[in-house]
Structure 1
Amino acid sequence: MSASGHTAHPVRAPARARLGDALGQLYGAERAEALVRELAQAAEGVRARPRPGHARPAVIAVYPDHVLDGGMAPLAALRRFLDEEVGGVGPALLHVLPPYVSDGDDGFAVVDHRAVHPRLGTWEDLERLSEVSGGLMLDLVMNHVSTSHPAFRDVLRGEGRPGDFHLFSEPRDIEWGTRVRTSSILQRFGAVWAWCTYGRAQVDLNHGSPDVFLSMAGTLLRLVEAGARVVRLDAIPHVWKRVPGGPHQPEAKLLVRALRAVADLVDPSVRLLAETDHRTGERCYLGEELAQHDNHLAVPLLVFTAALAGEGGPLVDWVNASAAEAHGRDGYAFLQTHDGVHLRPMDPPLDAPTLRRVMARLERAGVRVSYADVGGEPRPYELNSSLHRIFSTEAGLDVERYLAAHALLFALPATPCLYFPTLFGLPDAVGVEPSNPRAANRHRYSDGALRALVRQSVHARILKSLLGLIRLRDQTPALREDSGCEARLPAPQVLHLARGHGRQPLHVLVNFGVEPVSVPVPLRRWADLLGGRQGQGDVLLAPSEALWLVEAGSGDLT
């Protein structure tokens, strides 16, 4: 545990009661009581770092070894690069993808949850990234571990606790909904068959075992102590198995409730992100005693449809429906992730003809598309190219449209998320093997080469613009989580988002057309927070122009 000198939070009786209730439903009252005692004692030894205030204005996801310098640990090299070359990312959170001891899947095949991989650095190196950001987001990888994990190796040797894993003495048919992997869900290891949702290299944990929950809860406490302001619950829909069945079992929500209570024992300001698509009903993991956030996976395809195909209607419909939902503003929205761009093949947010037009536009630009088998039919599953490629034409990167799309992203009723290479508009990696399409957007950079790249005028301009959006969003009350949002199309290919209420509403206008367009705004005199323009009456938008308009002369515009 850290000896940073921070004072420990007192154990909270309501959190203990909620923890006991959730665990009692999962494991029975007697076992739950013992678990609560053990976790409460562990929480008393954790030195948390509570930070007051609203949620961070943006998140930037980065691999711990995205920046490589042979003379220092990658986590330290990343902090130095962000400090010297970027000037820090301001109030944005840094989502450091799994830095733990692992042997595959770019860190998600975890061998030891409680240790930073020695080749990446130390816990102190990780914690110091808070110096160049608004804090950290870290992953709790709780569905599976590497097949090299000591606990699984012990089981294979006839030792350890077999009940910590989903093991079978013979193969059986298991239907488990749509999965990312095409491998069999059961894999053979000697005399046993193990459940492997994410391929043979990773074996699923059995959260029906209280010992597994105790281990994960202890890991959560360690992440909070390391400075995590948000903890991402990786693959949470898959954590509880029932045959026959599928993802989103009710016990998964009870596990989220229990983990929320564990975090509250130390620091109630820590937020949980359920790594699932935003849904209502059984698929919703949000609530007062659950996670605070989930993902809006529909956003990238809707934004690409507006920005690249000139069809903004589906995005307008999504914004208005989302803003009306109880948890509509609690999601995370992005245009790119470390995995690529998920296209939701089971229920895409576009009708079939529109989807075909957008996919044709992307494929003409050379965007890599992965397909999934959905009911025996191949459907687009994921885009595995950089945003640089997605927003490129025959002439190269369309910088204006790239920046306009991000100005729109930052104005949506959701927390905007960026991926480290998109912060600079970096291109795809070269020489990517077809068998690993996600590698196209997972290139690691030598420190010197990356510095040379980001100093080029195009990449420097993108960085300056996106850092400006991060800071501006943090200073704009109309973009707070609790502010309203209404979307409309005042002209073809022009989107208008009205955010906030009261004295300082914000009107966001984006023209994705190829011609200038004049549109009205309900402001007497307006000022643009992005570029400084001022005027009155109708607003003339240039092609690929985005404006954030407030009433001019109303005092402090932010």
Structure 2
Amino acid sequence: MSSSVTTAIPGRALARARLGDALRLLHGAERAEALVREIEAAAEGARAHGLSGRAAGKARPVVIAVYPDHVLDGEEAPLAALRRFLHDEVGGVGPALLHVLPPYVSDGDDGFAVVDHQAVHPRLGGWEDLERLSEVGGGLMLDLVMNHVSTSHPGFRDVLRGAGRPEDFHLFREPRALEWGTRVRTSSLLQRFETGARPVWAWCTYGRSQVDLNHGSPDVFLSMARTLLRLMAAGARVVRLDAIPHVWKRVPGGPHQPEAKVLVRALRAVADLVDPSVRLLAETDHRPGERCYLGAELAQHDNHLAVPLLVFAAALVGEGRPLVDWVNASASDAHRCDGYAFLQTHDGVHLRPMDPPLDAPTLGRVLARLECADVRMSHADVGGEPRPYELNSSLHRIFSTEAGLDVERYLAAHALLFALPATPCLYFPTLFGLPDAEGVEPTNPRAANRHRYPYGTLRALMRQPVHARILKSLLGLIHLRDQTPALREDSGCEARLPAPHVLHLVRGHGRQSLHVLVNFGVEPVSVPAPLREWRDLLGGRQGQGDVRLAPAEALWLVEPVSGDPT
């Protein structure tokens, strides 16, 4: 027996033990043992196909989120067209992971209303098309859509016909009042469906077209475990656990039930049976001191939902103090680097209406600035009061003025994002600085930033000077961040305000220190040099003494001797 095999067995034994412990808590000892055997058999099949040992390494590369049909080209499968576009027109995205949003067989919600977790939708291509996307980047991130399925899912249709497994879903024989925290949907949480005998009311967190799964059913967990293994087989280096706070229901109750954490532990163990280097991302908000889903036996990442508003406050209205305070407050958080940070997502920008990261006057100034730019906003009912819940416009519109897109400020904000102690994430249209879609129905505000592009149209857009410059700059940041030792996960971060509207981040690793200076003001400004001699990694400038910053200019400064990326 080889040494690689002998060292792997103890890890698998530990994973099996952890899986069994978690499943016993959820389903009892007898059913747990049977589940472990079935999952072990599935994992053995995954290892037989060569999935084990495909190390992702410690690095946490930039993530680019993209819909599988974001690029369309006639009769070619969209996944193949996307790969060809990224290869031929963009030249690849370097070490960045491609977060391909759900490619499953689905009939709505842009892929999240799943009909079959084990198949790629035929109109998108096949699993092999998905796997080949790794050729144009550093690997894949894929979604495990856990909380719900489409009401067209065969299992639910069987239940409505009087067959199937009703216990796989949250069903009630009569309507009842349920409370479940803040929801972006305005639909009733329980929806009535007719069956062959009597009606049932199904729990539908995200609207009538999607019915919630009951993770108290062992068969539901087995299905999710098999889906996780299938995503790993497709090359997923990170698996995003969609809507994880909602997956376990308790009445009365709300999100973040304790069993949800146990589910994450069980899924971590399933992944460890095949490849411990695969990471899990819990789709929840990163809040120091409330680590519900992160830990050695749990997920490795969650989201920094506060970052967009904090950056917008600095970049758009000149209020940098909240971001400085946030960076410095998170310095002592053991999980500070485990969050994913972004300025835009496929859903828009979450405004955290229950706990905004800005005080009321500053938030008001940011929202007023966004309203002047005609940024679309959706609202949520928070305690009977409508509050802004989400920005549903493109980053292009968010950074636009009456004169058009403020390209310098757009790029400076990304230079700051890439220097934060977090994994930076981009959304495919922001990679080019693309504007909102036209003619969007008001009833679906998220559609404004989910436009699909014909191949030729997108190729023509990206060759326009503004979009070409944004693409070149962001691709440069992706490569530069990967090559800069000071931005490694284990390096510290300190933030300062050396002058009004100027942010100064200090990152360090070993002999290299990186000083990031960003002037979000409208006038040039000079600040004391943080280094005796310095070189800018972004533009190549070198100097001594004070550093002069143009409006909306960002610099990444290192000492000239040790500053060459290694």
Q: Name the TM-score, length of structure 1 as normaliser.
A: 0.97
The whole-number CA distance in structure 2 between the counterparts of 1:555 and 1:305 is 31
Q: Per-residue deviation at 1:160?
A: 0.6
The whole-number CA distance in structure 1 between the counterparts of 2:306 and 2:67 is 24
Report the 3-state secondary structure (helix = DSSP H, G, I; strand = E; otherwise coil) of the residue aligned with 1:245: coil
Structure 2 equivalent of residue 184 of structure 1? 188
Amino acid corresponding to residue 14 of structure 2 in structure 1: P
The whole-number CA distance in structure 1 between the counterparts of 2:56 and 2:168 is 38
Q: Per-residue deviation at 1:521?
A: 3.2
Compared with structure 1, are the counterparts of its residues 491 and 281 closer, same or farther at alpha carbon in structure 2 (3 Å cutoff)?
Answer: closer
Q: Per-residue deviation at 1:34?
A: 1.1
Aligned 8 A contact 1:39 1:218 in 2: yes
Structure 2 equivalent of residue 22 of structure 1? 22
Structure 1 equivalent of residue 93 of structure 2? 89
Amino acid corresponding to residue 350 of structure 2 in structure 1: H
Report the 3-state secondary structure (helix = DSSP H, G, I; strand = E; otherwise coil) of the residue aligned with 1:500: strand
Report the 3-state secondary structure (helix = DSSP H, G, I; strand = E; otherwise coil) of the residue aligned with 1:329: helix
Q: Does 1:356 align with 2:364?
A: yes
The whole-number CA distance in structure 1 between the counterparts of 2:174 and 2:563 is 72
Which region of structure 1 is more displaced relative to structure 2, 260-269 or 514-523?
A: 514-523
Decide which of 134, 154, 161 is 2:158's aligned counterpart.
Answer: 154
Aligned 8 A contact 1:139 1:233 in 2: yes
Decide which of 308, 311, 319 is 2:327's aligned counterpart.
Answer: 319
Structure 2 equivalent of residue 103 of structure 1? 107
Decide which of 543, 557, 560 is 1:549's aligned counterpart.
Answer: 557
Q: Per-residue deviation at 1:281?
A: 5.0
Alignment of 1:520-535 (within 5 A): 520-535=528-543
How large is the Cα RMSD of the aligned pairs?
1.1
Compared with structure 1, are the counterparts of its residues 76 and 155 closer, same or farther at alpha carbon in structure 2 (3 Å cutoff)?
Answer: same
Structure 2 equivalent of residue 246 of structure 1? 254
The whole-number CA distance in structure 2 between the counterparts of 1:381 and 1:390 is 15
Structure 2 equivalent of residue 3 of structure 1? none
Decide which of 126, 130, 136 is 2:134's aligned counterpart.
Answer: 130
Which region of structure 1 is more displaced relative to structure 2, 476-485 or 397-406?
A: 476-485
CA-to-aligned-CA distance 1:156-210 (integer Å, 9 cap, x gap): 0000111000000000010100012111100000110000000000000000011
The whole-number CA distance in structure 2 between the counterparts of 1:524 and 1:282 is 41
The whole-number CA distance in structure 2 between the counterparts of 1:94 and 1:319 is 27
Aligned 8 A contact 2:487 2:509 in 1: no
Decide which of 478, 499, 518 is 2:526's aligned counterpart.
Answer: 518
The whole-number CA distance in structure 2 between the counterparts of 1:89 and 1:555 is 24
Which region of structure 1 is more displaced relative to structure 2, 434-443 or 281-290?
A: 281-290
Q: Does 1:171 align with 2:175?
A: yes
Structure 2 equivalent of residue 44 of structure 1? 44
Q: Per-residue deviation at 1:378?
A: 1.4
Aligned 8 A contact 2:35 2:222 in 1: yes
4+ long deviations beyond 3 Å: 280-283, 555-558
Decide which of 439, 444, 462 is 1:436's aligned counterpart.
Answer: 444
Aligned 8 A contact 1:403 1:465 in 2: yes
Structure 2 equivalent of residue 290 of structure 1? 298
The whole-number CA distance in structure 2 between the counterparts of 1:21 and 1:180 is 35
Alignment of 1:267-346 (within 5 A): 267-281=275-289, 284-346=292-354
Structure 2 equivalent of residue 5 of structure 1? none
The whole-number CA distance in structure 1 between the counterparts of 2:335 and 2:192 is 42
Q: Does 1:215 align with 2:223?
A: yes
Decide which of 382, 385, 390 is 1:377's aligned counterpart.
Answer: 385
Report the 3-state secondary structure (helix = DSSP H, G, I; strand = E; otherwise coil) of the residue aligned with 1:45: helix
Structure 1 equivalent of residue 234 of structure 2? 226
Q: Does 1:61 align with 2:65?
A: yes
The whole-number CA distance in structure 2 between the counterparts of 1:474 and 1:56 is 9
**Identical counterparts, % of pairs:** 87
Aligned 8 A contact 2:535 2:563 in 1: no
Aligned 8 A contact 1:272 1:293 in 2: yes
Aligned 8 A contact 2:184 2:381 in 1: no
The whole-number CA distance in structure 1 between the counterparts of 2:427 and 2:290 is 29
Amino acid corresponding to residue 376 of structure 1 in structure 2: G
Structure 2 equivalent of residue 539 of structure 1? 547
The whole-number CA distance in structure 1 between the counterparts of 2:367 and 2:17 is 50
Extract unaligned runs of 5+ from structure 1: 1-8
Q: Name the TM-score, length of structure 2 as normaliser.
A: 0.96
Structure 2 equivalent of residue 262 of structure 1? 270
CA-to-aligned-CA distance 1:221-256 (integer Å, 9 cap, x gap): 000011000000000000000000000000000000
CA-to-aligned-CA distance 1:75-108 (integer Å, 9 cap, x gap): 0000000001100000000000000000000000
The whole-number CA distance in structure 2 between the counterparts of 1:281 and 1:528 is 36
The whole-number CA distance in structure 1 between the counterparts of 2:359 and 2:56 is 43
Structure 1 equivalent of residue 422 of structure 2? 414
Report the 3-state secondary structure (helix = DSSP H, G, I; strand = E; otherwise coil) of the residue aligned with 1:78: helix
Structure 1 equivalent of residue 12 of structure 2? 12
Which region of structure 1 is more displaced relative to structure 2, 68-77 or 273-282?
A: 273-282
Q: Does 1:472 align with 2:476?
A: no
Amino acid corresponding to residue 286 of structure 2 in structure 1: H
Structure 1 equivalent of residue 4 of structure 2? none
Report the 3-state secondary structure (helix = DSSP H, G, I; strand = E; otherwise coil) of the residue aligned with 1:301: helix
Report the 3-state secondary structure (helix = DSSP H, G, I; strand = E; otherwise coil) of the residue aligned with 1:337: coil
Amino acid corresponding to residue 233 of structure 2 in structure 1: E
Which region of structure 1 is more displaced relative to structure 2, 121-130 or 315-324?
A: 315-324
Q: Per-residue deviation at 1:55?
A: 2.7
Amino acid corresponding to residue 23 of structure 2 in structure 1: L
Structure 2 equivalent of residue 76 of structure 1? 80
Decide which of 497, 500, 503 is 1:492's aligned counterpart.
Answer: 500
Structure 1 equivalent of residue 458 of structure 2? 450
Report the 3-state secondary structure (helix = DSSP H, G, I; strand = E; otherwise coil) of the residue aligned with 2:515: strand
The whole-number CA distance in structure 1 between the counterparts of 2:276 and 2:529 is 41
Compared with structure 1, are the counterparts of its residues 281 and 56 closer, same or farther at alpha carbon in structure 2 (3 Å cutoff)?
Answer: closer
Aligned 8 A contact 2:485 2:565 in 1: no
Report the 3-state secondary structure (helix = DSSP H, G, I; strand = E; otherwise coil) of the residue aligned with 1:12: helix
Q: How many residues align?
A: 550
The whole-number CA distance in structure 2 between the counterparts of 1:554 and 1:256 is 42
Structure 2 equivalent of residue 197 of structure 1? 205
Report the 3-state secondary structure (helix = DSSP H, G, I; strand = E; otherwise coil) of the residue aligned with 1:266: coil
The whole-number CA distance in structure 1 between the counterparts of 2:564 and 2:418 is 20
The whole-number CA distance in structure 2 between the counterparts of 1:555 and 1:368 is 42
Decide which of 120, 123, 131 is 1:116's aligned counterpart.
Answer: 120
Compared with structure 1, are the counterparts of its residues 557 and 521 closer, same or farther at alpha carbon in structure 2 (3 Å cutoff)?
Answer: farther
Report the 3-state secondary structure (helix = DSSP H, G, I; strand = E; otherwise coil) of the residue aligned with 1:160: coil
Aligned 8 A contact 2:288 2:330 in 1: no
The whole-number CA distance in structure 2 between the counterparts of 1:106 and 1:555 is 44
CA-to-aligned-CA distance 1:278-303 (integer Å, 9 cap, x gap): 12455521000000000000000110
Compared with structure 1, are the counterparts of its residues 53 and 241 closer, same or farther at alpha carbon in structure 2 (3 Å cutoff)?
Answer: same
Aligned 8 A contact 1:56 1:91 in 2: no
Aligned 8 A contact 1:550 1:557 in 2: no
